[in-house]
Structure 1
Amino acid sequence: MKRSTSAATLAASAGIFVLALAGCAGGSAGGAASTDEITAEDTGATLSLWVRPGNEAVTDAVVEAYNDTHENQIEITHVPADQYVTKFAQAAQSGSLPDILAADLVFMPQIIETGAALDITDLLDEAGALENLSPSHIMASTADERVYGVPYVADTSLYLYNKDLFTQAGLDPEAPPTTWGGIADAAAAITALGDGNKGFYLSGGAPGSLAYDFTPTIWAQGTEVVNEDGTFNWDNAATQDALAFLQQMYENGDIPDTAKTDAGDGFFAVFASGKIGINFAGGNGVNTATLGTDPEFDFGLAPIPGQNDGEFATFSGGDVAAITAGTEHPNEAWDFIQWLTSTETSEDVYFSLPALPPRTDVTAPDELGPQFTIPAELVKSGQTYVSPFYNEVVASAQGPFLEMFQSVVFNGADPAEATAKAQEASDAITE
C-alpha cells in the first residue's frame, strides 16, 4: 500500500465502489469467468494494464522486462490516485476494463465483489506458485477460498532507528528494542538528549499510515482486527494496550506534537531529519530517494514488536495484479501473470531493481544489505486488512479508526472507552 494516498481519496472511494457493486453484472466472486481452458500464450497480442502512481519504479520496470523478452506487449496506463476508483467503477459498469488491473491490495475485496477479476486459483496451483507468494497479497485477493490476484508491488511495515542517536544516548546501536518497554526506554533516553531530538515518531493524522504501522502492535499480541465476515474487532484488550503504550510516550513528551496533524507527508521525512530516534514506517521508503544518496546518520531496521520478547508483526502492503474477467486476451494475460509469479522473475527482475519480489521462497542476495534483506524476510509473515468496509472504517479521515487512535494517543481518552466507541461506530457501518 502506498502511504501517500490521501485519506480523502480513500474515503471518497468507498461510495464509488458501492456504485460499482450495484452496477456490475455478477456482483460477486462467483460471477468471474472459468479458467478451465486458459493456457499461457505469447502470440504478440497487445495487452492493457492499469497501475496507480507512486510505484512506477517497480511497475514500469517489470513490464519493460516482460516486453523485452516476449512477443506480447503490455501497454501501461498510469491512473492518477484521485481518479483510480472512479475510473474503475465507470469501466466496470461499461465493460471497458483493461486486460490486467493493478490495484492497492486493500481494494481487492471490493474489486472481487464486483465480479471484475478472474479466478486464477487453479492456474497458480498448476504453475507451482500458489503456496509461494506474499501471504498478505494472497489474503487480500482471496474470497471463498478462491484467489483472484497476485503480488505485483510489495512493501512491509517495520521501524527505523537512528543509530547515531542511540549511541549518543548510551544505547547499543546494534541491539534495537524488541518490546514496547524497550522502545519506550530508548525513546525517553533520546528525548533526554535535548537539542530538538525526540524519541519516537509516526504519522498520527494519516489513517492509511496508522493502519500500516499501528495495527502490527495489535497483531503482534495475537489479536485480529478484522473478523472473517469483514467486520471489525476494536473493543479488546490488545487494542487498548497498544493505544495506551503510545499514549504514555506522547504524555512523556517523546512524540512531537506535529505527529498529530501529520497526514502522511512526514512518514519518512521527519526521520530523515536526523532528529528522531525511532520511526514506525515501512521498507519501501528506506532508499536513496527518501534518505538521500549520502545520509548524514547511520540507521537500522527492526520488526514492530508486541509487549513481550518474540512478539512482532508486519503489515505487508503494495499492489496486486489481476486478470479482468472481461479480457479478450485471457491466455496472453495469464502468460504475463505466470511470468510475474515465477521464481526466475523474482530473482532476475525484482532483485535486480532491487524490489521486494512476489515470491517468498526466494532469498534476497546479501549484497543488497539489511535495508533490503530485512523487509524481504518480514514480507514472508505479512498481514493485511481484508474487508470491503476498509475505506469507511479505517482509511477515512472521518472514520472510527482515526478517531479512536487520536482520542487516546493525543487527547488522553481512556482506551477502553475509545475502543468501545470505535466498535459501535464500525458496527453501524458494517451491519
Structure 2
Amino acid sequence: MNSFRLRRVAGLLLVGSLAVTACSSAADTASGGKVVLSVNGQPPQTQAFERKIFDEDVAEFEAANPDIDIQPHEGFMDPKTFSAKLAGGQLEDVFYAYFTDPAQLIARRQAADITDHVKDLPHYTEIRQELRDVFAKDGKVFGVPTANYSMGLLYNRKLFQQAGLNPDTPPKTWDEVKEAAKKITALGDNKVGFAEYSKNNQGGWHFTAWMYSVGGKIARQDGDKWVADFDNDKGRQVLQHLKDMRWRDGTMGEKQLLVIEDVQQMMGAGQLGMYLAAPDNVPTIVNQFKGDYADYGLTGIPDGKGTLIGGEGYMINPKATPEKIKAGLKWIGWKYLNPDRFDKNLKRYKDQGQPIGLPVPPVADIWTGDVKAKQTELKVANATVPVQNFKSYVDSTPAGLIEPPNAQQVYAILDNVVQAVLTDRDADPATLLADAEAKVNPVLAQVK
C-alpha cells in the first residue's frame, strides 16, 4: 500500500526462504576481538541497485570501524516468526521494525532498552519528536526511526489548469476538494475529479487517513484495552462527504472497487484530478504508467487536523550485550541518520537516474532544525524533478498518527463500509459505522 509496506512484504517472503542462521548475542566477538553484529534489511539480489548500495555501505562502514564485523541478512522482521526466532537465538542483533510493530514489542520486552546509549547517537534529538515517540514508552527508548511517509493529497496540475484552478494553490479543505473535483469532472472526456480505494484493505486504510484528517480516530485506549472510535459525528462526516461526491456530485466516476494500481493508472493517463497518497506514488505513476513529474503536485492532507504516518526504524535484540548495542547504534546512525552522507547518497541515486527532489528516501524526511535545512538545500541542488510542485506538502504540519492496532484486520472490516457508500446510493453511514464497530471491537480485544 506504500513503499515501506511493499518493501516489508517482500522482506517477509524472503525471510521464509532464507537458511536459518544463528544470530544470537551469545557470540559477541570474532577472532581478532571484533564485535560481530548481525543486521537485517539487506535488499535481495533481485533489487540490484539497492543491494549494491547496501553492500557498499557495509564495506565502507567496516573500513571506518575495523572493530565491528557486520553480518547482513536479507529480509525484515516477520511478526509471525519473531518470537520463535528470539527464543531460539536466531534473531538478528539489529532488526527492522515497521511503525506498527514497536508498541507490542516493547510491551512484551522483545527489544533492548537503549535509553542510556541513544544519547551518544549523533543528531538523534533532531529527528521529529512524533517519530521518536513511536519507538519509546514511559520515557525509555527502544529503537530509532530511519524513514517515514505521511499521507497527503496528490493532484494533476495539468487538469487543474484546464479546469481554471490554480495548481500552485491546491485545496486545503475537503470542501475545497469537493469543489475542485466538480470543475475537473466538468471537463468531460471521462475525467474523474477524485478517486478512492475500497478493496484489499486499502479502503479501510484510506478511511483511517480521512478520519485523522478531520480530527477523528479509528481506535482509542480505554484503560488497558483498545476500543473502536469511529461510530460518531466525524465518522459520519467522512462517509457523507464521500457519498455526496460519489452520488450527488458525480465526481468519482462510475467504476468503483478500485485499488492503488487502478488509481495510479488513471492519474498516469491524465484522467484523474486528485487522490490521497504518499509521495512515493509519484515515481510509480511516472515509471509504470508513463506520467510526467511536471504534471503532478502534492499538498498536505485536506483539513489538516492529523495525517496517517507510517515508516520504518531499527530496534536491537533484547539479549544484546552493551558492546553490541553500542555497535548497533553506530551502524544505524552511520547508515541511516548521517547528514555527512546526504550529498553522497543523493549523487549516487542521481547517477543511476533515480528521481531527486521528492520528499522520499534516499534522504528521508524525518528531520528538524539544521539537519532538515541541510537536507532541503542538497535536495534542491541535486533535484531532477520540480521541487516546487511538492513544497506545500513539505511545508504542511498536521499531527502525525500511526495506524490502529491489528490494522490489517481492522481495514478489512472498514473496506466494506467504504465499498457500500461508493456502490449503494441508499447506503446509510450511521448503520454502516455501527455494524463495523461491532466487528472491529473483537479484533481490538485481541491486542495484548
Same fold, TM-score > 0.5, yes or no? yes
Higher relative contact order (CA 8 A, sep 6+): 1
Please state whether the residue corresponding to 1:173 is helix, strand or coil: coil
**What is the aligned partner in structure 1 of residue 367 from structure 2?**
359
Per the alignment, do residues 294 and 234 of structure 1 end up closer, same or farther by CA in structure 2, a change over 3 Å counting?
Answer: closer
Q: Is 1:316 paired with 2:302?
A: no
**What is the aligned partner in structure 2 of residue 49 from structure 1?**
40
Deviation per CA, 1:237-292, whole angstroms, max 9, x where unpaired?
A: 11211121112111133223444242x333533322211011211112223x4313
Whole-Å Cα distance in 2 between the matches of residues 64 and 380 of structure 1? 37
Per the alignment, do residues 409 and 93 of structure 1 end up closer, same or farther by CA in structure 2, a change over 3 Å counting?
Answer: farther
Whole-Å Cα distance in 2 between the matches of residues 291 and 130 of structure 1? 34
2:421 to 408, 411, 423: 408
Please state whether the residue corresponding to 2:78 is helix, strand or coil: helix
Residues 204-283 of structure 1 aligned to structure 2 (within 5 Å) = 204-208=198-202, 210-211=204-205, 213-228=206-221, 229-251=225-247, 252-262=249-259, 264-266=260-262, 268-283=264-279
CA contact 2:42–2:54 (8 Å) conserved in 1: no
Q: Is 1:425 paired with 2:419?
A: no
Per the TM alignment, residue 92 of structure 1 is displaced from its structure 2 partner at its CA by: 2.8
**What is the aligned partner in structure 1 of residue 331 from structure 2?**
336
Per the alignment, do residues 109 and 89 of structure 1 end up closer, same or farther by CA in structure 2, a change over 3 Å counting?
Answer: same
**What is the aligned partner in structure 2 of residue 201 from structure 1?**
195
Whole-Å Cα distance in 2 between the matches of residues 383 and 100 of structure 1? 25
Q: CA RMSD for the aligned pairs?
A: 3.6
Whole-Å Cα distance in 2 between the matches of residues 359 and 428 of structure 1? 38
**What is the aligned partner in structure 2 of residue 101 from structure 1?**
95
Q: Where does structure 1 lack aligned partners over 5 or more consecutive residues?
A: 14-32, 34-41
Deviation per CA, 1:113-149, whole angstroms, max 9, x where unpaired?
A: 3422112234334546554324453343233443322
**What is the aligned partner in structure 1 of residue 18 from structure 2?**
none
Whole-Å Cα distance in 1 between the matches of residues 50 and 402 of structure 2? 21
Per the alignment, do residues 294 and 241 of structure 1 end up closer, same or farther by CA in structure 2, a change over 3 Å counting?
Answer: closer
Per the alignment, do residues 296 and 148 of structure 1 end up closer, same or farther by CA in structure 2, a change over 3 Å counting?
Answer: closer
Per the TM alignment, residue 177 of structure 1 is displaced from its structure 2 partner at its CA by: 1.2
Q: Is 1:303 paired with 2:297?
A: no
2:239 partner letter: L
Per the TM alignment, residue 230 of structure 1 is displaced from its structure 2 partner at its CA by: 3.8
Whole-Å Cα distance in 2 between the matches of residues 63 and 119 of structure 1? 28
Please state whether the residue corresponding to 1:227 is helix, strand or coil: strand
Q: Where does structure 2 lack aligned partners over 5 or more consecutive residues?
A: 14-24, 26-32, 350-355
Deviation per CA, 1:171-227, whole angstroms, max 9, x where unpaired?
A: 22222111111111111111121212111123221424652x443332233333332
Whole-Å Cα distance in 2 between the matches of residues 207 and 359 of structure 1? 30
Per the TM alignment, residue 98 of structure 1 is displaced from its structure 2 partner at its CA by: 0.7
Please state whether the residue corresponding to 1:188 is helix, strand or coil: helix
Deviation per CA, 1:303-327, whole angstroms, max 9, x where unpaired?
A: 1112xxxx35322212121112123
Whole-Å Cα distance in 1 between the matches of residues 43 and 437 of structure 2? 32
1:382 partner letter: G
Per the TM alignment, residue 57 of structure 1 is displaced from its structure 2 partner at its CA by: 7.1
1:278 partner letter: M
How many percent of aligned residue pairs carry the same amino acid?
21
> More deviation in 351-360 or 111-120?
351-360
